[in-house]
Chains A and B, each alone.
Chain A
Amino acid sequence: MAKKKQVKEKSIEESLWQSANKLRGSVESAEYKHVVLGLIFLKFASDKFEVRRAQLIEEGKEKYLEMAAFYNEKNVFFLEPSSRWSYIIDNAKQDDIAIKIDTALHQIEKANPSLKGALPDNYFSRLQLDKSKLGALLDTINKIDTQKDEATDIVGRVYEYFLSKFALAEGKGKGEFYTPKSIVNLIAEMIEPYEGIIYDPACGSGGMFVQSIKFIENHNGNKKNISIYGQEYTNTTYKLAKMNLAIRGIAGNLGAVAADTFARDQHPDLKADYIMANPPFNQKDWRAENELTDDPRWQGYETPPKSNANYAWILNMVAKLSDQGVAGFILANGALSGGGEEYKIRKKLIENNLVEAIVILPRAMFYTTDISVTLWIINKNKKAHTRKIGDVERQYRFRENEVLFMDLRQRGIPFEKKFIQFSDENITEITDTYHNWQQVDGNYKDVPEFCASVTNKEIEKKDFSLVPSKYIEFVNRDEQVDYHDKMAELQTTVKSLMQEKAQNDTALAAVFKKMGYEI
C-alpha cells in the first residue's frame, strides 16, 4: 500500500524566517532583527495605505488622495510616493536601495506624528548590507499578503514570531529578556486589564501591551477604553515597541525618548490601574551611591540598595499604582528572601497589605536564562468590592492580611524541546485558583504542593520570607503507602523465590561437582 505523501505546509512565519535567515552572516543577529522588522513594518504600512487609497478612489474622492488627514482618520499612515512599498520594490536591484529604504522610513516618520522616534534612522545605509541579500529579503517580504485576512492579525503574528525567534536565536548573550508569551498571557488572565491605564516600566518591544489588548478583545471589551504607558531604556528596543504598537493600531505613550526608568522617569505623575512588567533581573549599580536616595517613589520605604534593583522596580510600580491598581510582574527568586534594606521594604509591603500573590514559575520558561523566577501580584485594593470584566462579575472578598502562594514548578508542557510553556488548561487551572481565592464563595482550598492562603501573621512568624515552599504544604507520600498490601505481595514472591533458590542451589552445587570443583 502506497502511503499518501503529506506535504506539510509551512506557515508564513516559518518560510519568512527561513528566507530572511539568508541575510544572516552579513549582519550581526541583534541588528538583523531591526532590519527585518523595519521592512515588515514598511510593507504593512504600505499595504494599508494602498487599501485606503483604493477606498478613496471608489468613493470618488480622488482629489484628496494626497492628503494625510484622509488616511490618519482611519488609523492609516500616509505615505509619500517614495515611501511606498511599490517604489522600494521597483528599485530593489539598485545600488542605493539602502538609502532609499532609509529615506522612505524617514518620510513616514515625518508625516505621521504618532511615529515620532519609532522608525530606524539611517539604519540601512549604515549597515552596508550585501545588496543581493537585501534584494532577496525584499522579495520574500513582498510575498506576504498583509491584508489577506484582517481577523488573523497576520502582521502581529509575524512580528511576534520574529521577536520570539530572535530571542531564541540570540540566546544567552546580551539578548533582551523577551518575556515568553505564555507568561504574559498568564499575567493578563490573572490581573485582567480591562479598562483604564496600563503601564509597563520596562516595556521592551511592548509584548505586555499587545497581550492586554488581546485580553480585552477576548472579553468583548473596547480597546479604546484603555491607555497605554510605557518606558524602555534601549533605543532600538524602544523603536521596536513603537512599531509593534503602530502596526496593531494601538496608541501608546512610551515617553519622549528611550530612557532609564529610575534616572529619567518618563511618567512621574502616572497612576496606573494595571501594571505588567518583566524588568531586568538583579540589576547591579542601577544608581550611584548618592543618587536617587530620596526619590519620591521610595517614600515610606527604605531606599533600595544600589547592589540590586529588584526592590527599586517593585517600589517604582507601587508608587505608580492607582488606589484600585493591580500589578503583576516577574522577578528573580532572590527577591523573596533578600536581607538588609530589601528585607525592610518587603516587611513594609506585607504590612501595608500590598502583596496579593506570590507565584513560583517553572524553570526553563525563558529563552535567555534558566534562572528561577517568581510572579508577584501587588494589589492596592484588597478590600471587598465588585468589578465587571465584560460579562463576568467578580465579587472580591476582604483579604487584607492574606497572601496567596502558588508553586507552578510541576505545571507546564514542553516547548521547542528545551523549554517549558503553559498550556491553556494550565492557565485556566492557575487563574481559576487565584480568582476563586479572591472572591466571595470562591470555593478556594489549599492544595498541597500547589497553593496556600497564608495570613500576614504566619508570614511574620517566618520572618517575612515570601518563599512559597515555607508555606505550601508538602505531602510526604510515604505516609500513605499501603504497607500491608505491599508486604503481603512481597511475602508471596520472596517466599517462592527462596524455595526456588534452595532447589537451584543443589543443582548449582552439582555443576561445580561435575567440573571437578565440588563446593
Chain B
Amino acid sequence: MKSNYRLLGDYIRKVNNRNNPIISEDLRGLSMNKEFRKSTSNIVGTDLSKYKLVHKNQFACDFMSVIRVHKLPVVLHTEVEPVIVSPAYITFEVIDQKQLLPEYLMMWFRRSEFDRYADFRCDSAIRGGFKWDELCEVELPVPSLEKQQEIVDDYNTVQDRIRINGELNTALEETAQALYKHWFVDFEFPISLCHTEPVEVRLEDDVNVENIDHSKGYKSSGGAMVYNEELDQEIPVGWEVVSFLDELNINGGGTPKTTNPNFWDGAIPFFTPKDVSKSFFTVNVEKYLTQEGLDNCSSKLYKKNTIFITARGTVGAISMSGRDMAMNQSCYAFIDKDNLQFYGHQLAKFAIDNLKRQAVGAVFSALVTKDFESTMILKPSLTVKLKFNDLLEPIYSNILNAQIENIKHRELSDLLLSKMATVLDHKEL
C-alpha cells in the first residue's frame, strides 16, 4: 500500500436501520450515475418496515450488480429527510466525520477507476460479486480534513456550473419552443412585420392601420385570416399548406464497412441514433470516421446545424449537429430550403410531435420518406420565417455554447476525481 493510502475498512461501518416503526415511505433505487432515483417498484401492500433507512450522510450500495454492470452502484444520501432502500442493499456510514468526509469518500467512489477496481475484485464468489470485505480492502488517500473539504468544494464548484448550464439550457429551449408556438400556432408574430411586406400580410378590412396595438401579435391585432379546409382552421392570409418536404430537403446516410480499420477512429464525427442528446445539439458522438471512411460510405459530411431525425431503432428523435458530421442510414438529415435551420428545427420538432401523437396506439416502428412527404405543414411568409430564425440564432448559439462548456466541465470533473489518487504527492489542488 502506498504510504499516503489508508484502508477504507478503518473508516466505515455497516448500519442496518430498518424502517420500523415506519418513518419514511420514500423508496429509492440506485442509478448507474450513483444518484438516488425514485423507485419504480410497486410498493402497494408491501411491508415497508422491512426496508432499510438511509439517513443523511449515510451510503447505500448494491454489491450484487457489480459483476453485471461493471461498476459499484453506491449513493451518498445528502438530504435531511431519510429515505428507504431495498433490504438487499448494504448501508454504511463514516465512523468519524472528522477523519473522513462522506462527500470526499463519495468523490472517490465516483471515479471510473474505482468502478474498474470494483469489477476487478469480483472474482471471489460463485456468481462473482463485490462484498463488504472487498469494500473494506479499498485503499484511498486520506488527507487532512481541510484538504478534503477543499477538494470537495472545488469539485462542487464545477458541478454547480454544470447544473446551472443545464438548467439554463432547459429554460432557453423552452423559450425557443414557446416562441415558435406563439408565432406559428397562435399566429401572434409581431404585427410590425405586416408593414414591411404588405403584399404578403395584410390586415382585415375593418382594421385601421393607425389604431394597431403594436404590443399585441398579428392575430390579436386583427391580422387577416382565411379558413383552410385541409387543416380545418383559420390561417394568416398568404400562408400555404405544403408538404414537409416542400420546406425541408431530405438526405440519407450510410455506414462504411465496419470491418475496415482504415475507415474508423478518425476525426469526423459519425452520428447514429445512440448519439441523440437530451439537449438540442449533438456535439460528441460514439464513433468517428476517417476521411477515407467518409469517402467510402453514402453519407455526406453534413454541416453544423443540420437537423437529424432518427428513423429506425429509436424513432423520431431530433437532434441538431453541433459541428460538421456524417450520419448513418438509420437517420435522415434535413436542410431548410431557405437555409433557415433554427426555424427548420422548431418546425421539425413540432411536426414530429404531431406525428407521434397521431400514432398513439399504433406502434411507431420506423419512419420512411413517405411519412415526411405526407406530413402537411404551414408555410409562412418568408419575412416571418426569416425574422424568426434571426431571433432564435443567439438562443441556439447560447445553448450550443453551454453544451460544449459542459462537456469541458465534465472533463474537468473527471480530472479532479482522478487527481484524488495523487492528492498528497502534488500541491496543485
Contacts and interface: CB of A to CB of B under 8 A. Distances in A.
Contacts of A486: 411, 415
A512 to B, nearest CB: 8
Contacts of B409: 494
Given A467-B124, A478-B418, A479-B422, A504 B408 contact: no
Nearest to A332: B126
Given A476-B421, A483-B415, A507-B394, A334 B125 contact: yes
A363 B70 CA distance: 13
B401 interface: yes
B125 A333 contact: yes
B123 A487 contact: no
A337 interface: yes
Given A478-B111, A494-B408, A516 B123 contact: no
B412 interface: yes
A125 interface: no
B123 A407 contact: yes
A449 B120 CA distance: 8
A474 B117 contact: yes
B402 interface: yes
Interface string B373-414: 000000000000000000100110110011011001101100
Interface string A500-511: 110011011011
Contact of A516 (B215, B405, B415, B419): B215
Interface residues on B, range: 35 or more
Contacts of B111: 478
B160 to A, nearest CB: 15
Nearest to A517: B175
A504 B398 contact: yes
Contacts of B126: 282, 332-334, 371-372
Interface centre among A476, A486, A497 (most CB of B within 10 A): A476
B125 A504 contact: no
A152 interface: no
Interface residues on A, range: 35 or more
A468 interface: yes
A514 B121 CA distance: 60
A504 B397 contact: yes
Interface string A357-386: 000100100000001101000000000000
Contacts of B422: 478-479, 483
Contacts of A407: 120, 123
Given A360-B123, A372-B126, A468-B123, A497 B405 contact: yes
B95 interface: no
Given A497-B408, A507-B394, A372 B179 contact: no
B191 to A, nearest CB: 13
Given A481-B419, A516-B215, A501 B125 contact: no
A474 B124 contact: no
Contacts of B215: 516
Given A467-B123, A494-B405, A501-B405, A483 B128 contact: no
A490 B412 contact: yes
B131 to A, nearest CB: 10
A272 B306 CA distance: 71
Interface string B115-141: 011001111111110000000000000
A477 interface: yes
B123 to A, nearest CB: 5
B405 A476 contact: no
Contacts of A500: 401
B415 A501 contact: no
A515 interface: yes
A490 B428 CA distance: 15
A449 B116 CA distance: 11
A24 interface: no
Given A510-B394, A511-B395, A490 B121 contact: no
A478 B420 contact: yes
A339 to B, nearest CB: 12
B113 interface: yes
A490 B406 CA distance: 12
Given A497-B401, A511-B394, A483 B124 contact: no
Nearest to A479: B421
A167 interface: no
A86 interface: no
Contacts of B426: 483
A504 B117 CA distance: 43
A336 interface: yes
Given A478-B418, A501-B402, A371 B127 contact: yes
Given A363-B128, A497-B405, A508-B398, A481 B418 contact: yes
10 contacts: A333-B126, A407-B123, A449-B120, A483-B422, A486-B411, A487-B415, A487-B428, A490-B415, A504-B397, A504-B398
